[in-house]
Structure 1
Amino acid sequence: MNSEQDNRPDQEANGDSALFPPVDPFKVGIQGCCPRCGNGKLFDGLLSLKPRCAACDLDYGFADAGDGPAVFVILIVGFIVIGLVLWLQVNYAPPIWVHILLFAPLTILLSLLSLRWCKGILIALQYRNNASEGRLHRD
């Protein structure tokens, strides 16, 4: 195997016949771009996926992030928001309505933004590593 083939993802295993240079899965995931070419858009709206890439015609049928992005978002955003709530309560002891007024919009904003990023990153990593559902191999 030559060095040119070593630097690109396993495209034959993904069923890709076209050659595309490898893209950074974290960069294209955060930008919401195609995991193969890095140019087309991955999302149709806020969180729903497009059926295929407009630039390279990659079918996004393989993409199944499942509950992974939601778990990461709950843990990360929850840690940040609860930390801020505790800090505010200990230092200033405001009434409960101040917490609701400040942290309800912050939680919703952080959750939606980071859920899109996390979903894009996990789909790009899924494509790059040719991840799929586990199957039993029978001879």
Structure 2
Amino acid sequence: MRDTTITEVTEAERDTRRAMWRGFRGKCPNCGSGPLLRGYLKVRDHCPVCREDLSHQRADDGPAYLTILIVGHLMAPLLMFVFETWRPEPLVLFTTFSVGTIALSLYLLPRLKGGMVGLQWAKRMHGFGDED
């Protein structure tokens, strides 16, 4: 029978998928119940529920790049499909897709930031590890 070391147990506890999903939902990647964000994009210094230190996060421009990538890959084919299928007036097409693009971007940005913080926490990046 193999003995499990403490590092293996704590590594198993930090499930990447679960941490990213919790972050995507705007919750603490550690406990899953405390709020991750203070405001629209500002990450809290620590979780008010489990006291996990979140000040180490370095999401920076990653969520913005991912938002642009996802929104662009969704809206460009949809724009072509709508244009080729129904041929709407240019002003209607522009207005509809501008509003849709902005709304989708504003919806995804804080969620992708939370997911990225969850990924950093799960992978022990940027000071999230136990070795201090």
CA distance in 1, matches of 2:11, 2:114: 18
User: Is the aligned partner of 1:25 residue 2:19?
Assistant: yes
Alpha-carbon displacement from aligned partner over 1:20-75 (angstroms, at most 9, x marks no partner): x5451232022111112222110112211122110011222101101111111101
Match of 1:106 in 2: 100
Specify every segment of 5 or more residues in structure 1 that has no aligned partner in the other structure, as ranges.
11-20, 134-139
- RMSD between aligned alpha carbons? 2.1
Task: Quote the offset at 1:4 in angstroms.
Answer: 6.9
**Aligned equivalents of 1:79 and 1:98: distance in 2?**
21
In structure 2, distance between residues paired with 1:7 and 1:116: 31
Identity in percent: 30
Q: Which has the higher helix share?
A: 2
One-letter amino acid matched to 2:42? S
CA drift at 1:127: 0.9
Q: When the two structures are superposed, what TM-score results if normalisation uses the length of structure 2?
A: 0.82
The Cα shift of 1:3 comes to 6.5
| Greater than 2 Å deviation, 4+ residue runs | 3-10
- Mapping for residues 123-138 of structure 1, pairs under 5 Å: 123-132=117-126
Q: Give the TM-score of the pair, scaled to structure 1.
A: 0.78
Asked which structure has the greater RCO (Cα within 8 Å, sep 6+), the reply is 2
For structure 2, which runs of at least 5 residues remain unmatched after alignment? 128-132
Is residue 51 of structure 2 the alignment partner of residue 57 of structure 1?
yes
Distance in 2 (alpha carbons) for counterparts of 1:47 and 1:103: 24
**Alignment map for 1:1-139 (pairs within 5 Å):** 2=4, 6-9=8-11, 21-22=13-14, 24-132=18-126
